[in-house]
Chain A
């Protein structure tokens, strides 16, 4: 053993990691910015050939002066959101964060959580523990994120990736899937932001890292598990 390793072995064990480690927080906010770019520029692109005749997005909330500028934004954001998303998936799997925080999901727990929420008995005192409904929503939005990228690739390259396009039936149904994923993300975003504002500690935790947690458990080190 050389001197360096000896030195490392002698130091005190470092304190438990934060609830949201720095790489996770970075990925979260990069994703947030890229998602806003994708949604707002996507709306402008959608307006050029609407899927639903009754639905045009007001220009005030779209990104890009004309369609070409919206396309430029979209195909810039595409790289950010796909690479950041891929890094997030790898991080979640490799560090075990997905397994610790998002699983298992039991249907009876989901029902119980919904019941508690409807009767205003849902507690939020432990930020580090996701309730069953949160788990369902987070797993769901990750899956939607994967589908929105795949359907986007199929629309971008319906010939070069013709095998991928077949998964979505044809070009127009791939467009529809891409649109519905966007709608699901916007819906999630509305609930997610509303809840983050209702429990400001959770928003703060995504900025500063939140409480330190024992890596062996999904619960806070400072707070006993319920």
Chain B
């Protein structure tokens, strides 16, 4: 499929930045980062020895813990295997209805109108035409009966179906060598995943649960469902998908939750 170069941003200087300086000091830059991590880790250990000091609220401790969390992102990406499947279950194990969870109560959900809803595409994508709910529902479906595991510790088995994200990205001419796929949701939720997970066979854009169209609390008309990530990564009520090489912070990563959140 043809890949197109994204249009140059009008905010980007025409001449660009001299990359040779960056290249020249690449080693130094990496070293500074490593030192910071090491120093942060050491001072963390020392601080915990002190009593009567609320270390959790200390700014430098916060930064060190976040640095470790980013290191954990890298470790998780390294151990992720694109061909390793999450265990699947028989239909008899499926919980109906699914368990609701969001950053607000179920009474506060704002249902979307499937007739007027469209999916917006942005970033490193060849064909950015919008998709309607009918068009999405007509795509070839994959069914996923996998365990949903929440970062809080609860879990249930769900039965989701919809188009494989990999197939959809290929169909719209997305740059599959880009680093991230980001999702914007109708409830002001934002989510992003690594490309390796986006291309995993158990990553789908779900339109059905238990063979029926997904209902309002669970992200109608379109939601993300992955067998290899924690529950909160599975964006609901998706309104836009973008493919990018710039790290997209997410609703929860901004609040300190681990970004990769692989299982």
A71 touches B262 (CB 8 A): no
Asked whether A72 and B45 contact (CB < 8 A) given A157-B79, A159-B228, A172-B155, the answer is no
Query: Does B98 reach chain A (CB closer than 8 Å)?
Result: no
Which residue among B64, B66, B256, B262 has the maximum number of chain A CB atoms within 10 Å of its CB? B256
B149 touches A158 (CB 8 A): yes
CA distance A158 to B152 in the complex (A): 14
A48 touches B45 (CB 8 A): no
**Complex partner residue of A75 from B45, B68, B154, CB under 8 angstroms:** B68
CA distance A156 to B229 in the complex (A): 11
| Interface size, B (range) | 35 or more
B153 touches A76 (CB 8 A): no
B68 touches A71 (CB 8 A): no
**Complex partner residue of A160 from B79, B152, B252, CB under 8 angstroms:** B79
Query: Does A73 reach chain B (CB closer than 8 Å)?
Result: yes
A172 CB, min distance to chain B CBs, angstroms:
7
A69 touches B153 (CB 8 A): no
| Interface size, A (range) | 20 to 34
CA distance A205 to B256 in the complex (A): 41
**Complex partner residue of B65 from A46, A49, A73, CB under 8 angstroms:** A73
B56 touches A160 (CB 8 A): no
A147 CB, min distance to chain B CBs, angstroms:
18
Residues 25-57 of chain A: 1 if any B CB is under 8 Å from the residue's CB, otherwise 0?
Answer: 000001001001100000001101100000000
Query: Does A130 reach chain B (CB closer than 8 Å)?
Result: no
CA distance A72 to B69 in the complex (A): 6
What residues of chain B lie closer than 8 Å to A76, measured between beta carbons? 41, 44, 64-65, 68-69
* Stretch of B81-89, B105-113, B115-123, B176-184 with 4 or more beta carbons under 8 angstroms from chain A: B81-89
A160 touches B45 (CB 8 A): no
A159 CB, min distance to chain B CBs, angstroms:
4
Residues 233-263 of chain B: 1 if any A CB is under 8 Å from the residue's CB, otherwise 0?
Answer: 0000000000000000000100111100011
Query: Does B60 reach chain A (CB closer than 8 Å)?
Result: no
Query: Does B49 reach chain A (CB closer than 8 Å)?
Result: yes
Residues 148-168 of chain A: 1 if any B CB is under 8 Å from the residue's CB, otherwise 0?
Answer: 000000001111101000000
**Complex partner residue of B154 from A30, A49, A73, A80, CB under 8 angstroms:** A49
* Chain B interface residues toward A at CB < 8 A: 41, 44-45, 48-49, 56-57, 64-66, 68-69, 72, 79-81, 84, 86-87, 147, 149-155, 227-228, 252, 255-258, 262-263
16 further A-B contacts with Cβ under 8 Å, apart from A157-B262, A160-B81, are A37-B48, A45-B153, A48-B153, A49-B153, A49-B154, A64-B56, A66-B255, A66-B256, A68-B257, A72-B68, A72-B256, A75-B69, A80-B45, A157-B263, A159-B84, A175-B153
